[in-house]
Chain A
Amino acid sequence: MDAILLQLLNGLDKGSAYALIALGLTLIFGTLGVVNFAHGAIFMIGSFCAVTLSKIFSLSHKASEPTGVDFLGNPKFDDILYIKEWFGDSAGAWMQDWSVPLAILFAIPIMLFLGFVMERGLIKHFYKRPHADQILVTFGLAIVLQEIIKYFYGANPIPTAAPEVFRGSFDFGVLMGFDPNAIIYPYWRLIYFAFSALIIGGVFAFLQFTTFGMVVRAGMADRETVGLLGINIDKRFTIMFGIAAAVAGLAGVMYAPINSPNYHMGMDFLVLSFVVVVVGGMGSLPGAVLAGFLLGIVESFASMNEVKAIIPGIDQIIIYVVAIVILLTRPRGLMGRKGVMEE
């Protein structure tokens, strides 16, 4: 029982990342009809916003007096951090420690801007082109974005720590009446799950309870009719592209302490997120969230030693097995609209 609960918890944080990326993907598909293969790269850039802010907070100048010798035996000068000079030692140290949460504020305008530029500068020219063209161009864009990141940050993963107070783990099992060490769960993963729930709730509330959201939903249902009513739906859809980029970017920012960001991490998530979108139903927001968590949990269960003992290697293919079964039995996905992906 404890092993099942443990994998359920693991599945929730994996599912959180899948759900957030898939939510943005399906938002873009539902509004603009574009299959955006660059969405994983946006997630990656979000992570690198956290890295960048951490690096900005680490900007320094050399001390005037040497404090020792370097590896070649030359005089070594200590680095003096600008933020500690400007804001004092304790405030500077706090900013460094909290660089990931602070990066949320840093990332939002950057990701919104990136979304607008991508949509206006490139993707809008492919609205009327076949999906294959859209996939090719957005996939190409993803490669360009990740190569740019690699050029500036290198290919190695870059460690980006959570605030000290959230490092480590707590014994969830003891709370549930199990033996100590039965269910250990890291604090930051719990925060990631809560953060994802907040973002997902926020996006749904925005679409459900604002006039802007109502127009967007109407546009998703019938773009032409909304246009005939004199509403500039394209402009709203561009804003939605920016919001989708911000959602993926924020997912990336908060993911940075879970796994050290590297330029390729977007691709690792992209394929899985597409499977999530297809399983959930192309264009269905609740479907993307449901499928994200479902596949995250299924993937975690497939990694259990007991399951792998019965079906070796199942952890490597389970997501695709689920996708095949869903597509064969319900081509529109779990919550997809009738007619989409069914012809």
Chain B
Amino acid sequence: MSLYKPTRRSLIQTGAIAGAGLALPTYLRADGHSGFTNAPTGDTVTLGFNVPQTGPYADEGADELRAFKLAVEHLNGDGDGGMMNTFSSKELKGDGILGKKVEFVTGDTQTKSDAARASAKSMIEKDGAIMISGGSSSGVAVAVQGLCQEAGVIFMAGLTHSNDTTGKDKKANGFRHFFNAYMSAAALAPVLKNLYGDDRNAYHLTADYTWGWTQQESIQAATEAIGWNTVNDVRTPLAATDFSSYIAPVLNSGADVLILNHYGGNMVNSLTNAVQFGLRDKQVNGKNFEIVVPLYSELMARGAGENIKGIPGSQNWDWKLDDDGTKGFVKSFGEKYGFPPSQAAQTCYAQTMLYADAVTRAGSFNPCAVGEALAGFEFDGLGNGKTLYRADDHQCFKDVLVVKGAENPESEFHLVEIIEKTPVDQVTYDPEHPMFAGGDLGQCNPGA
């Protein structure tokens, strides 16, 4: 029996080797397939898709789920490959992820934070999901992102637009492909100046929760920067269905623009009410009264019918873009389901591809390795042009679309027209920007 007796020299040598090993990117280390939550052991890997299957965003959730299923189909080598063919990274070969067939489980967020956390927890603990994606609400995204950080799995956010998701609530295990409220405002403001001039008085109606607050703060700052005056900001209850009592005083307030910081059902109802009250037919301060909806949702815009005609807003993506990635995705999705995908579907599809690609490049499912592969990753071909997954906050930076409700729709799917594709430079901000301050990515958590 011999005892190891370290000498000063051997200790320095061992320390140097260990230090160098630790300094290597996680994905070059030997422990790539173990020591983390839900490390896949068989020939399959399970992804968890957490979308609203019930509740007011169920249709949006259904479209997200369609996109997830399509992405899984393409990853496993079925179908026409969709955006895998146009994706700038050529790591994915249609043989699953790292040779493991992709399977998935689904959860129902109900667009409620507690329900979303419970379904994500169940998918991680019972079904062995190694990644969670999806969702149609910032409140849900922030809640599930926190859970994934604690559990040691990657969270690839679905539709979440609040600055907080990659601002004060950002997490090392969380990644957002969708744009945010700041970007919407930065893209919209110059277009609004061109459309309506720089001498305007804006009245805000704002949904009283995290997304509404950051959307209002962003668009107010951006419109004031172009010379507009903010007359009032009225917070409206999220559960409100009739906005008449909030809209009625607008015309008499001296405002000549109404900005609806509302999403989904709130947006449909407040816009419908505003049009009923004849706001768009009025002249105030010698100018036509205008309405702005900073964030569009095509699925919900359908609910507002003709009321959205000519109303400007912003989108993360639109199926009418003419790049190869979009064309490929619309073809795959349209042929499978019979109608074009929504922006919620596109972001979910892109997130699944990005995750699979990051795992492949990392050579490991270890969330820390995947995180390292995603952070700072530049790519193209997923429908939004050149995109950067910024390492500082795990936010994607890409062009933003400014749109308006279609004046003469050519089909039932033709809800909006693209006014401008705002270049990414115009919507990029400093990671320490005050609207995103207060958060810390922290350390990635591989879990078990």
Q: Which residues of A contact B (CB under 8 A)?
A: 2-3, 6-7, 9-11, 13-14, 68, 70-72, 76, 150, 154-159, 161, 167-169, 179, 181-182, 184-186, 188-189, 258-260, 262, 264-265, 268, 299-300, 303-305, 308, 315-316
Secondary structure dominating the interface of B: helix
Q: Cβ of B55 and Cβ of A155 under 8 Å apart?
A: yes
B35-43, B164-172, B266-274, B386-394: which lies at the interface: B266-274
User: Given A156-B302, A157-B303, does the pair A189, B248 have CB atoms closer than 8 Å?
Assistant: no
- Count of chain A to chain B residue pairs whose CB atoms are closer than 8 Å in the complex: 127
Q: Cβ of B276 and Cβ of A169 under 8 Å apart?
A: yes
- Residue contacts A-B, CB under 8 angstroms, 26 given: A2-B252, A71-B339, A71-B413, A154-B58, A156-B300, A156-B302, A157-B268, A158-B303, A159-B268, A159-B302, A161-B306, A181-B252, A182-B252, A184-B248, A184-B251, A258-B242, A260-B272, A260-B303, A262-B265, A262-B303, A268-B241, A299-B245, A300-B245, A304-B249, A315-B245, A316-B239
Secondary structure dominating the interface of A: mixed
Q: Cβ of A156 and Cβ of B411 under 8 Å apart?
A: no
- Shortest CB-to-CB span from B298 to chain A, Å, is 10
Q: Cβ of A186 and Cβ of B276 under 8 Å apart?
A: yes
Point out the residue from A14, A157, A182 that lies within 8 Å of B244, measured CB to CB.
A14
Mark out the residues of chain B between 280 and 319 whose CB falls within 8 Å of any chain A CB in the assembled complex: 281-282, 284, 299-300, 302-307, 319
Contacts of A10 in B (CB 8 A): 244-245, 248
B20-28, B87-95, B328-336: which lies at the interface: B328-336
- In the assembled complex, the Cα of A186 lies from the Cα of B249 at a distance in Å of 14
| Residue in B closest to A317 when the chains form the complex, CB atoms | B237
Contacts of B245 in A (CB 8 A): 7, 10-11, 14, 299-300, 303-304, 315
User: Given A186-B276, A305-B232, does the pair A264, B242 have CB atoms closer than 8 Å?
Assistant: no
Asked whether any CB of chain A lies closer than 8 Å to the CB of B278, the reply is yes
User: Given A155-B56, A168-B278, does the pair A13, B334 have CB atoms closer than 8 Å?
Assistant: no
- In the assembled complex, the Cα of A303 lies from the Cα of B245 at a distance in Å of 6
User: Given A71-B413, A155-B57, does the pair A259, B237 have CB atoms closer than 8 Å?
Assistant: no
- Shortest CB-to-CB span from A59 to chain B, Å, is 15
- Shortest CB-to-CB span from B60 to chain A, Å, is 8
Contacts of B248 in A (CB 8 A): 6-7, 9-10, 184
User: Given A155-B55, A156-B303, A189-B276, does the pair A259, B242 have CB atoms closer than 8 Å?
Assistant: yes
Contacts of B300 in A (CB 8 A): 156-157
Q: Cβ of A155 and Cβ of B276 under 8 Å apart?
A: no
Q: Cβ of B334 and Cβ of A189 under 8 Å apart?
A: no
Asked whether any CB of chain A lies closer than 8 Å to the CB of B128, the reply is no
Contacts of B57 in A (CB 8 A): 155
